Amino acid sequence: MWKDWIRPFVRPLPQWSTIAVAPPQQAVTATLRWDRRSADVTTDHTVASLKPLSIATSIDAGDAPSLEYTDSTTGKLLGALHLARATSIAVDGSNVTIYHVEDSEHRCLPWPRRAWNEWLQNRVMRKSNTSHHALMDPHSVQQLMIAYLCPRPVILVSVDTPGHRNMFPMDLIGPLRRSELFSLALRNTNVSEPVMRDVRKVALSSMPASMKGTVYKLAEHHKEALGDWSALPFPTRPSRTFGIPAVATALRIRELGIVQAHDMGSHTFFLGRMASDEDLTEGTQLHHTAGFHQAYRRRRNAAFAEV
Ligand SMILES: Cc1cc2nc3c(=O)[nH]c(=O)nc-3n(C[C@H](O)[C@H](O)[C@H](O)COP(=O)(O)O)c2cc1C
């Protein structure tokens, strides 16, 4: 059909693709490179804030390292973020280094489609007025999409105190393997943010891909706390030691003891250690990746299962 042929020329790819992946994702490898040295940071880097767009890792890789994302099967470079060291955080003998994203590139689309798709996507972003687009300029969102070349798992975070209860989705999350820390980057406008700073414990439910609709619906609780646990559209079970209600049908339930909270511009960067870890069932977890990454894999007949 001529319409299928013409579509890429007039319509941008979706920015994000929601996919079903068995955890931990191994499709993409992340490598930090600096001074002719390199380290695998696939399970040791995360997004710490969206504005400024910041990356955290346990490795101090000097002033200007690069973070490269490669296809684990073919070894092909998919994209890279060029970083500038911003600060470091000491946590009980470990160090977490924070980098700002200075520059970026990706190779998921051939040129000139790459530049044309970016132009089309940026035009849509400038026209839309969602709070996400109000927070980040189109150029930074393009850089964020590159950070999502490593598919990011989605969890539901539960908070429970006598006066406040909540459950909401997150994907700007750890782990930071070498320092044995786990991080959560949470918009400082989130209604539970001050409570989390205070109570210092949360439960994390790893969400099955089949629950995508339910997970997205709970995004409203970034702004408004939950009235009652019984208002949730699924059964809960208490987390192992904190007794916080978590998702009964989760793939895995972990409990995070928060040890530090840092202001990082638009987001609060929580750092914590796991207090418990229950593997409940096997299955695919809801993940996000960049739309141009899914398009790249589709061209190679290796598309992620989309949900
Ligand atoms: C699947 C999913 C994951 C999310 N992950 C995060 C996150 O890691 N950190 C965060 O601050 N907000 C996260 N959000 C919240 C949204 O970015 C947004 O702030 C929230 O949906 C409120 O939307 P609005 O302010 O655009 O109305 C997530 C939302 C969804 C649906």
Q: Which of 102, 125, 150 is the last residue of a domain?
A: 150
What is the domain-level CATH number for residue 7? 2.30.110
Are 144 and 55 in contact, with CB atoms under 8 Å apart?
Answer: no
- Which ligand 1 atom is the nearest neighbour of the CA of 286? 1
* Structural domain total, the chain: 2
Distance 232 CA to ligand 1 centre (A): 18
**Confidence bin at 199 (pLDDT 50/70/90):** very high
Same domain, 166 and 145: no
Q: Is residue 303 part of a domain?
A: no
The pLDDT of residue 255 is above 90: yes
Across the range 202-216, mean pLDDT stands at 98
Establish whether residue 219 lines the binding site of ligand 1, counting it when its CB lies within 6 angstroms of any ligand atom: yes
Token pair 């089949």 in the structure block, residue: 210
What is the domain-level CATH number for residue 193? 2.30.110.10
Q: Is residue 23 part of a domain?
A: yes
Q: Tell me the pLDDT tens digit for each residue of 53-97.
A: 999 999 999 999 999 999 999 999 999 999 999 999 999 999 999
Same domain, 247 and 163: yes
Establish whether residue 264 lines the binding site of ligand 1, counting it when its CB lies within 6 angstroms of any ligand atom: no
The pLDDT of residue 130 is above 80: no
CA–CA gap between residue 283 and residue 302 (Å, rounded): 19
Same domain, 6 and 89: yes
Across the range 219-237, mean pLDDT stands at 97
Q: Is residue 300 part of a domain?
A: no
Establish whether residue 172 lines the binding site of ligand 1, counting it when its CB lies within 6 angstroms of any ligand atom: yes
The pLDDT, as a whole number, for residue 128 is 87
Q: Is residue 89 part of a domain?
A: yes
Establish whether residue 131 lines the binding site of ligand 1, counting it when its CB lies within 6 angstroms of any ligand atom: yes
Atom 21 in ligand 1: residue holding the nearest Cα: 219
Q: Tell me the pLDDT tens digit for each residue of 273-298.
A: 999 999 999 999 999 999 999 999 99
Q: Which phi-psi region, left, alpha or beta, contains residue 62 (left: φ > 0; alpha: ψ -120 to 50)?
A: left
Same domain, 141 and 249: no
Q: Is residue 299 part of a domain?
A: no
Q: Which of 90, 117, 150 is the last residue of a domain?
A: 150
> For residue 82, what are the contacts with CB-CB under 8 A and spacing of at least 6?
64, 66, 101, 102, 103, 104
Same domain, 73 and 90: yes
Residue among 135, 157, 171, 214 whose CB has most ligand 1 atoms within 8 A, to mutate? 171
Distance 7 CA to ligand 1 centre (A): 29
Distance 115 CA to ligand 1 centre (A): 28
Same domain, 29 and 101: yes
Average pLDDT, the chain: 96
The pLDDT of residue 8 is above 90: no
Q: Is residue 173 part of a domain?
A: yes
Q: Which of 96, 129, 150 is the last residue of a domain?
A: 150
Same domain, 136 and 9: yes
The pLDDT of residue 238 is above 70: yes
Across the range 187-204, mean pLDDT stands at 98
Q: Is residue 305 part of a domain?
A: no
- Alpha-carbon distances, residue 109 vs 36, 209, 275, 291 (angstroms): 28, 27, 42, 11
- Which ligand 1 atom is the nearest neighbour of the CA of 267? 11
Distance 219 CA to ligand 1 centre (A): 6
The sign of the dihedral angle between the CA atoms of 163, 262, 17, 71 is negative
Distance 75 CA to ligand 1 centre (A): 32
Establish whether residue 222 lines the binding site of ligand 1, counting it when its CB lies within 6 angstroms of any ligand atom: yes
Atom 17 in ligand 1: residue holding the nearest Cα: 132
Across the range 101-111, mean pLDDT stands at 97
Same domain, 128 and 48: yes
Distance 113 CA to ligand 1 centre (A): 29
Same domain, 145 and 171: no
**Confidence bin at 134 (pLDDT 50/70/90):** confident
The amino acid at 42: T
Same domain, 95 and 190: no
Same domain, 42 and 68: yes
Least confident of 1-10, 236-245, 266-275: 1-10
Q: Tell me the pLDDT tens digit for each residue of 9-68.
A: 789 999 999 999 999 999 999 999 999 999 999 999 999 999 999 999 999 999 999 999
Domain that holds residue 24: 2-150
The pLDDT of residue 1 is above 70: no
Same domain, 117 and 200: no
Across the range 185-204, mean pLDDT stands at 98
**Confidence bin at 4 (pLDDT 50/70/90):** low
The pLDDT of residue 129 is above 80: no
Q: Is residue 159 part of a domain?
A: yes
